[in-house]
Amino acid sequence: MPNHCAVRQNEAVKVEVKTPNGSEMTASAATTFVGSALRIAPDFIATTMDESESIRTEISVSYSSDAGRYVVRRLSHAALSDSVELNYKTAAKVGIQPMVQAAAPHCIFLTLGAESEPTAAWLSVAELTTAHGRILPSAIAAEVVRRGSSEARMDAIEILYGSAALGGLAPAKLIQAELGIPHRTASAWIIAARQAGRLKGMNFNAARPASDVGSTARMS
């Protein structure tokens, strides 16, 4: 099935994700809690090299609790060749929204064990995503669909919704693809999860144009 998840939709976008001080992105940087089970890095820096255009692009991104997603705060471009002139026409060829979408899974963490356990291992969504582009294993997805209104289903919806919404992707589409359910069912389960308090701090505005992600960013 096409467009299975955030990672698959952005598989052509290769980004390097670091903390604001240049360190590797690990669970220790995920200090902000959203929903009931997710931890995210509140800030990160993502870099990509567009070899076809010979442009290096770097974005500084922060989590906005008001927006319920990651937003770009600073944007910079650098020419990698003397033959490239940086202007708005060349810079516009670099997709900023796909960069955010590709980087976000590296900054969203959850644990498969009990959060209260000191030894609980926190994994990023990127680490959980399989080579086939799935976040949830097929067996777990099937069980979530069969179980009815269970905590397992709420857990799954929270993970999938957050994975998509925080990066600016449509959560219902991801939930549909991962669980193999129609859009109407995905929407109903999202509503139930929000009513249960599972989606606090996460939001998706379908009416927001993709270019809005970087509309308030400073360009240097």
pLDDT tens string, the chain, 220 residues long: the values are 334 433 334 446 889 999 999 999 999 999 999 998 899 999 999 999 887 778 899 999 999 999 999 999 999 999 888 888 888 887 777 889 999 999 999 999 988 666 666 667 889 999 988 767 889 888 889 988 987 668 889 999 999 999 999 999 999 999 999 999 999 999 999 999 999 999 999 999 865 544 444 444 544 4
Query: Parallel, antiparallel, or unpaired: how do β-strands 55-64 and 43-50 relate?
Result: antiparallel
Which stretch of DSSP H or E encloses residue 178?
helix 171-179
CB 177 within 8 A of CB 1: yes
Separation of alpha carbons 95 and 122, rounded Å? 30
Among the listed residues 60, 93, 95, 57, the one whose alpha carbon sits nearest the alpha carbon of residue 77: 57
Q: What is the pTM of this model?
A: 0.82
Give residue 12's pLDDT: 61
> In the 8-state DSSP scheme, what is residue 93?
T
> Strand, helix or coil at 71?
strand
